[in-house]
C-alpha cells in the first residue's frame, strides 16, 4: 500500500527537540524562532517557493553491510517503513524551486543526519558515518543553501543513521 505518515505523538521520555529554547532568555528564543520563520517565509514573500519534500529515492544499508533500494517519505520513523532502527538511510531528492532556495530545515532527526546540496555538504547534526553515543544528536538541522543558478535542478541528499531503538526523521524536510 501507500506509505503511511507519522502519526505517533512525541514520546514524553525524550528530550524536547527545542529544549535549548526553553532555557534561553525570552528575547533570544524569540529571535531564533523568528529568524528561521523569516528565512523560510522571506522566500515565499519574494516570489520563491517554500516546499516540503515528499517521496525520496533511498538506499537502506543494513547493519550487516547488505543494502537495498526503496522509496521513503518524511516525516517517518525507520520502523514504520520496516527499516531496522540501526540501519543507515541514504536518500536523494531532485528539487525544483521558483527562484533561488535560501535554506533547509530538517526537523527532529533520529539520531544523525548530514545534508548535501548539489554535492556540497551544507549541514550535519550527529555523524551518520560513525557508531556510538557521542556521534548522535536529537537537534534539528537548519542550513543555509549556497547561492546557485535558480533555474537549475538541484539534488538534495540526506545520510541518516538511527540509534537508541529509533531512526528516521520525525519532522518535515523543508526547502525555502
What is the C-alpha radius of gyration for the chain, rounded to an integer number of angstroms? 16
Is the omega angle on the peptide bond into residue 111 within 30 degrees of 0, that is, cis? yes
**pLDDT recorded at residue 52:** 67
CB atoms within 10 A of CB 141: 22
SS3 44: helix
**pLDDT recorded at residue 157:** 96
Instruction: Flag whether the pTM goes above 0.85.
Output: no
Measure the CA–CA gap between 74 and 173, rounded to whole angstroms: 7
SS3 166: strand
**pLDDT tens for the 176 residues of the chain, in order:** 444 344 433 333 344 444 444 444 544 544 454 455 444 444 444 444 567 677 899 999 999 999 999 999 989 899 888 999 889 999 999 987 777 768 999 999 988 999 999 999 999 998 887 877 788 887 899 999 988 777 788 899 999 998 878 889 988 898 88
Q: End-to-end distance of the chain based on CA atoms, in angstroms? A: 30
> For residue 129, what is its C-alpha cell?
558515518
Strand partners, 109: 169
Measure the CA–CA gap between 151 and 66, rounded to whole angstroms: 38
Measure the CA–CA gap between 75 and 54, rounded to whole angstroms: 9
Amino acid at each position: 500500500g501507500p506509505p503511511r505518515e507519522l502519526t505517533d505523538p512525541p514520546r514524553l521520555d525524550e528530550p524536547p527537540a527545542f529544549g535549548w529554547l526553553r532555557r534561553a532568555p525570552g528575547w533570544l528564543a524569540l529571535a531564533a524562532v523568528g529568524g528561521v520563520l523569516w528565512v523560510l517565509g522571506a522566500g515565499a514573500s519574494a516570489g520563491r517557493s517554500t516546499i516540503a519534500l515528499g517521496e525520496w529515492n533511498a538506499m537502506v544499508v543494513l547493519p550487516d553491510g547488505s543494502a537495498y533500494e526503496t522509496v521513503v517519505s518524511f516525516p517517518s520513523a525507520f520502523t514504520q517503513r520496516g527499516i531496522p532502527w540501526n540501519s543507515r538511510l541514504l536518500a536523494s531528492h531532485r528539487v525544483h524551486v521558483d527562484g533561488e532556495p535560501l535554506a533547509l530545515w530538517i526537523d527532529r532527526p533520529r539520531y544523525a543526519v548530514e545534508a548535501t546540496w548539489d554535492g556540497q555538504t551544507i549541514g550535519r547534526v550527529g555523524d551518520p558515518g560513525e557508531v556510538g553515543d557521542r556521534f548522535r544528536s536529537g537537534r534539528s538541522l537548519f542550513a543555509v543553501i549556497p547561492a546557485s543558478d535558480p533555474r537549475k535542478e538541484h539534488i538534495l541528499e540526506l545520510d541518516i543513521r538511527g540509534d537508541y531503538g529509533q531512526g528516521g526523521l520525525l519532522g518535515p524536510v523543508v526547502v525555502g
